Amino acid sequence: MGFKDVIQNIKDRKEQKKQAFRQMQQQDRLQNMLEERKKSSNQRELERYIKEDQEKEIKEQLEYMRKKRDQDIKFGHNPLNTPNITKSAQWEVLREKNMFKGRGNMFVNQPTIYKSNKNLLKNNRRMFKL
Protein backbone atom coordinates (compact mmCIF):
# COMPACT_ATOMS: atom_id res chain seq x y z
CA MET A 1 0.00 0.00 0.00
CA GLY A 2 1.66 3.16 -1.21
CA PHE A 3 1.26 6.79 -0.40
CA LYS A 4 -1.21 7.32 -3.25
CA ASP A 5 -3.42 4.52 -1.92
CA VAL A 6 -3.49 6.05 1.56
CA ILE A 7 -4.44 9.46 0.13
CA GLN A 8 -7.09 7.84 -2.09
CA ASN A 9 -8.59 5.98 0.89
CA ILE A 10 -8.76 9.18 2.92
CA LYS A 11 -10.41 10.96 -0.01
CA ASP A 12 -12.93 8.12 -0.47
CA ARG A 13 -13.87 8.10 3.23
CA LYS A 14 -14.34 11.88 3.15
CA GLU A 15 -16.56 11.60 0.09
CA GLN A 16 -18.62 8.84 1.74
CA LYS A 17 -19.15 11.03 4.80
CA LYS A 18 -20.29 13.92 2.60
CA GLN A 19 -22.68 11.62 0.73
CA ALA A 20 -24.14 10.22 3.96
CA PHE A 21 -24.52 13.74 5.39
CA ARG A 22 -26.37 14.92 2.27
CA GLN A 23 -28.73 11.96 2.48
CA MET A 24 -29.43 12.66 6.14
CA GLN A 25 -30.12 16.32 5.37
CA GLN A 26 -32.50 15.35 2.58
CA GLN A 27 -34.32 12.88 4.86
CA ASP A 28 -34.62 15.57 7.54
CA ARG A 29 -36.05 18.07 5.04
CA LEU A 30 -38.56 15.53 3.79
CA GLN A 31 -39.57 14.61 7.35
CA ASN A 32 -40.07 18.30 8.26
CA MET A 33 -42.08 18.88 5.08
CA LEU A 34 -44.30 15.91 5.90
CA GLU A 35 -44.89 17.15 9.46
CA GLU A 36 -45.70 20.67 8.23
CA ARG A 37 -48.26 19.38 5.75
CA LYS A 38 -50.02 17.38 8.46
CA LYS A 39 -50.64 20.57 10.47
CA SER A 40 -53.45 23.02 9.86
CA SER A 41 -52.70 26.45 8.43
CA ASN A 42 -53.62 28.13 11.72
CA GLN A 43 -51.23 25.90 13.64
CA ARG A 44 -48.40 26.64 11.17
CA GLU A 45 -49.03 30.37 11.48
CA LEU A 46 -49.08 30.21 15.29
CA GLU A 47 -45.81 28.25 15.34
CA ARG A 48 -44.24 30.80 13.00
CA TYR A 49 -45.17 33.65 15.37
CA ILE A 50 -43.88 31.72 18.37
CA LYS A 51 -40.62 31.05 16.55
CA GLU A 52 -40.25 34.75 15.68
CA ASP A 53 -40.75 35.69 19.34
CA GLN A 54 -38.18 33.12 20.41
CA GLU A 55 -35.66 34.45 17.87
CA LYS A 56 -36.26 38.01 19.11
CA GLU A 57 -35.68 36.93 22.71
CA ILE A 58 -32.54 35.02 21.75
CA LYS A 59 -31.22 38.09 19.94
CA GLU A 60 -31.83 40.31 22.99
CA GLN A 61 -30.13 37.84 25.33
CA LEU A 62 -27.19 37.54 22.94
CA GLU A 63 -26.77 41.33 22.81
CA TYR A 64 -26.88 41.46 26.62
CA MET A 65 -24.25 38.72 26.94
CA ARG A 66 -22.00 40.42 24.37
CA LYS A 67 -22.22 43.72 26.26
CA LYS A 68 -21.55 41.97 29.56
CA ARG A 69 -18.52 40.17 28.16
CA ASP A 70 -17.20 43.37 26.61
CA GLN A 71 -17.63 45.15 29.95
CA ASP A 72 -15.77 42.36 31.74
CA ILE A 73 -12.93 42.53 29.26
CA LYS A 74 -12.63 46.30 29.50
CA PHE A 75 -13.22 46.87 33.20
CA GLY A 76 -13.12 43.44 34.88
CA HIS A 77 -9.53 43.72 36.02
CA ASN A 78 -9.17 46.20 38.85
CA PRO A 79 -5.50 46.93 39.57
CA LEU A 80 -6.43 48.28 43.00
CA ASN A 81 -7.42 44.76 44.09
CA THR A 82 -4.10 43.19 43.14
CA PRO A 83 -1.66 42.47 45.98
CA ASN A 84 1.28 44.81 46.47
CA ILE A 85 4.36 42.83 45.50
CA THR A 86 6.80 45.24 47.11
CA LYS A 87 5.47 44.65 50.65
CA SER A 88 5.49 40.88 50.58
CA ALA A 89 8.22 40.30 48.06
CA GLN A 90 10.27 37.17 47.75
CA TRP A 91 13.13 39.04 46.11
CA GLU A 92 15.66 41.05 48.10
CA VAL A 93 15.80 43.79 45.48
CA LEU A 94 12.20 44.74 46.10
CA ARG A 95 12.67 44.91 49.88
CA GLU A 96 15.71 47.21 49.76
CA LYS A 97 15.36 50.96 50.13
CA ASN A 98 15.64 53.14 47.05
CA MET A 99 19.35 53.84 46.58
CA PHE A 100 18.71 56.74 44.18
CA LYS A 101 16.43 58.66 46.54
CA GLY A 102 17.90 61.86 47.93
CA ARG A 103 20.60 62.27 45.30
CA GLY A 104 20.60 65.19 42.93
CA ASN A 105 20.20 65.09 39.20
CA MET A 106 23.50 63.89 37.73
CA PHE A 107 22.82 65.52 34.35
CA VAL A 108 22.47 69.13 35.58
CA ASN A 109 26.07 70.28 35.16
CA GLN A 110 26.97 68.04 32.22
CA PRO A 111 27.59 69.57 28.77
CA THR A 112 24.84 68.90 26.27
CA ILE A 113 24.91 68.70 22.52
CA TYR A 114 22.98 71.95 22.25
CA LYS A 115 25.45 74.00 24.32
CA SER A 116 28.67 72.67 22.82
CA ASN A 117 27.70 72.35 19.14
CA LYS A 118 28.09 75.67 17.28
CA ASN A 119 26.50 74.32 14.11
CA LEU A 120 23.10 74.07 15.78
CA LEU A 121 23.01 77.79 16.47
CA LYS A 122 22.50 80.31 13.70
CA ASN A 123 22.12 83.98 14.56
CA ASN A 124 21.79 83.02 18.24
CA ARG A 125 18.69 80.93 17.46
CA ARG A 126 18.22 77.23 17.22
CA MET A 127 17.38 75.85 13.81
CA PHE A 128 14.67 73.58 15.25
CA LYS A 129 12.47 73.67 18.32
CA LEU A 130 12.76 71.21 21.15
Q: What stretches of 39-79 show up as alpha helix (H) in DSSP?
A: 41-75
Q: Please state the rounded mean pLDDT for residues 50-72.
A: 96
pLDDT at 129 over 60: no
User: What pLDDT is recorded for position 125?
Assistant: 57
pTM to 2 decimal places: 0.46
User: What pLDDT is recorded for position 88?
Assistant: 65
Is the CB of residue 113 less than 8 Å from the CB of residue 120?
Answer: yes
71-100 pLDDT, tens digit per residue, is 988 887 777 777 666 666 666 766 778 888
User: What pLDDT is recorded for position 54?
Assistant: 97
Three-state DSSP class for residue 75 = helix
Give the torsion sign (CA, 35, 36, 41, 44): positive
Is the CB of residue 116 less than 8 Å from the CB of residue 108?
Answer: no
Give the torsion sign (CA, 87, 91, 96, 98): negative
Q: How far apart are CA 29 and CA 58, in angstroms?
A: 24
User: What pLDDT is recorded for position 59?
Assistant: 97
Residue 90 identity: Q
Domain ranges in the chain are 41-72
pLDDT at 27 over 90: yes
Residue from 63, 32, 36, 60 nearest 47 by CA: 36
